[in-house]
Structure 1
Amino acid sequence: MPKTALVTGASSGLGAEYARQLAARGADLVLVARDAPALQKGATELRSRYGVGVEVLEADLLKPRQREKVERRLTEPGRPVEVLVNNAGFGLPLDFAGNDIEAEARHLALHVEVTMRLTHAALQPMLARGSGRILNVASVAAFMPRSTYGACKRWIVDFSRWANTEYGPRGVSVTAVCPGFTHTNFHERMGLKPGSEGIADVLWLEASDVVTESLRDAARGKGVSIPSARYKALTRLVRVLPDSVSARLGRRGR
């Protein structure tokens, strides 16, 4: 297991779960998010429970100077980062025409530009060492028409697949993680109450299962990880459906 992993969006949800599971495997951590109190609380718990080193980097990744702090940390020669988890993100209502365009621009920048920039920063030292893992959190929404969220996540999938074929032979795997509906606070941050989205219980995943399977897939060098058999089957199905049908399916939930 790597010595150090950097996780963005680490204050809650999948990011916090990645931090827990990586710490349990003995990795030191660099936790990145905007919520400094939540980061500090999580760092204290991880140090106490797992005995690992935990560094906190408070940063709003949409602000260039703060994002650059994270890029510099990824390239420090004396403190290598062996695993990068690009997890930071947020959702918007699916009504693109009705959404604030500045919110849409921030949404695009965080999911696409920030993922690209941090991946680029991490690749340089990883390739020089001949080893490393990058996990870019996407979504099964990447495989169906689903407003700009699906479009952003599709970019992450296509970019990660290409990067994995390009850099995997040189020792650096790049994996797009594509969970379905997962029990985290992602939906609550959008103002949605539990059970309000009309999604069958069988389609909900546990964050711990998503992270476990994706870390295993990354270790195997896979370019795309779709946790759970049911979502693997669903993504195969929507690929052969007409866009009008898969778009209707994509309107369910947030």
Structure 2
Amino acid sequence: MGTALVTGASAGLGLEFAWQLATAKHDVVLVARDEDRLTRLAAQLQAAAGIHAEVLVADLATDEGIGRVADRLRSDEKPVGLLVNNAGLGLNQRFVGGDVDAEVKALDVMVKAVLVLSHAAAGAMVGRGRGAILNVASVSALLASGTYSAHKAWVRTFTEGLAVELKDTGVTATVLNPGFTHTEFHERGRIDMSGYPEIVWLNAEDVVATALADVRRGVVISTPSARYRAASAIARLAPRSAIRAIGRYRKALDEPADADAGV
């Protein structure tokens, strides 16, 4: 895979992707908004794994930020062999009566950025005849839990369509669909998850290891853990009326805040 670019690398799954890729001896490009966090992480990765870690500060809710990362993906200098579109928002509000600007920001980060960065990466990778794109969605793509489900459903369908288009080019596309995962995501999004039993939770290390193994094998749909594969199968087969019946708004701990990475 050569150099890997990870968005939302400062926390959550993005942080775990950065560590696992670095320890596998891949150079990394770390993308997020928090320059201090990224700089500390880059130093840690270089010291621990002996790889080169490049810091790219960008806000993917802005055209400027998306453009900066897209330009890096098109660059022939230290070309990116793996794009991990991981950045996301822990937006926790009802759509009706909620802040529409926050909704647009979430859409830009989790949909627009995925589209633009995948386009930039795929074009460069196809030209070289090799590469991989990993887009982080969620099992919530199969549910009806607000605009987050809608965003992740788009990512899932988009990635499947991209995989079809990339067939026989030497470039692959994989969509990762984790369930609830122990990261900073829900805490930074101020989402109350206290009512969920421990059995529903996954470890970030296992989620990322599964995703990277599936990328190496060219798997299109990656769903970590047998229990979430079973849950996904049930959700696909269940009547949509039943899916809507279990959709619900999760209570915020206090005022909602955003996060750089998570599920």
Give the TM-score normalised by structure 1: 0.95
Aligned-partner Cα distance in 2 for 1:65–1:161: 27
Q: 1:91 deviation in Å?
A: 2.3
1:204 corresponds to: 201
Deviates more, 1:90-99 or 1:173-182: 90-99
2:136 corresponds to: 137
2:176 corresponds to: 177
> Is 1:186 aligned with 2:185?
yes
Structure 1 residues 158-193: Cα deviation after superposition (integer angstroms, max 9, x where no partner): 010111121032111111110000000000112235
Aligned-partner Cα distance in 1 for 2:234–2:181: 20
2:254 corresponds to: none
Taking the TM superposition and a 5 Å limit, the aligned residue runs for 1:83-122 are: 83-93=82-92, 95-122=94-121
2:235 corresponds to: 238
Aligned-partner Cα distance in 2 for 1:248–1:186: 25
| Helix, strand or coil at the partner of 1:187 | helix
Identity %: 45
> Is 1:250 aligned with 2:247?
yes
Letter in 2 for 1:212: A
Unpaired runs of 5+ in structure 2? Answer: 252-263
| Helix, strand or coil at the partner of 1:170 | coil
Aligned residues: 251
Deviates more, 1:236-245 or 1:75-84: 236-245
Taking the TM superposition and a 5 Å limit, the aligned residue runs for 1:32-43 are: 32-43=31-42
Aligned-partner Cα distance in 2 for 1:192–1:61: 22
* Structure with higher RCO (Cα < 8 A, 6+ apart): 2
Q: 1:253 deviation in Å?
A: 5.2
Indicate conservation of the 8 Å contact 2:132/2:215, yes or no: yes
Q: 1:145 deviation in Å?
A: 1.3
Q: 1:226 deviation in Å?
A: 0.6
Letter in 2 for 1:111: M
| Superposed CA RMSD | 1.4
Indicate conservation of the 8 Å contact 1:6/1:83, yes or no: yes
1:75 corresponds to: 74
1:221 corresponds to: 218
Taking the TM superposition and a 5 Å limit, the aligned residue runs for 1:149-188 are: 149-188=148-187
Letter in 1 for 2:89: F
Indicate conservation of the 8 Å contact 2:60/2:108, yes or no: no
Aligned-partner Cα distance in 2 for 1:176–1:5: 16
- The alpha-carbon distance between structure 1 residues 248 and 94, as it changes in their structure 2 partners (threshold 3 A), is farther
Unpaired runs of 5+ in structure 1? Answer: none
Indicate conservation of the 8 Å contact 1:87/1:137, yes or no: yes
> Is 1:58 aligned with 2:57?
yes
Structure 1 residues 112-155: Cα deviation after superposition (integer angstroms, max 9, x where no partner): 11000000000111001111010000000001111111111001
| Helix, strand or coil at the partner of 1:169 | coil
Aligned-partner Cα distance in 2 for 1:118–1:139: 19
| Helix, strand or coil at the partner of 1:82 | strand
Deviates more, 1:244-253 or 1:98-107: 244-253
Indicate conservation of the 8 Å contact 1:168/1:174, yes or no: no
Indicate conservation of the 8 Å contact 2:34/2:57, yes or no: yes
Letter in 1 for 2:50: G
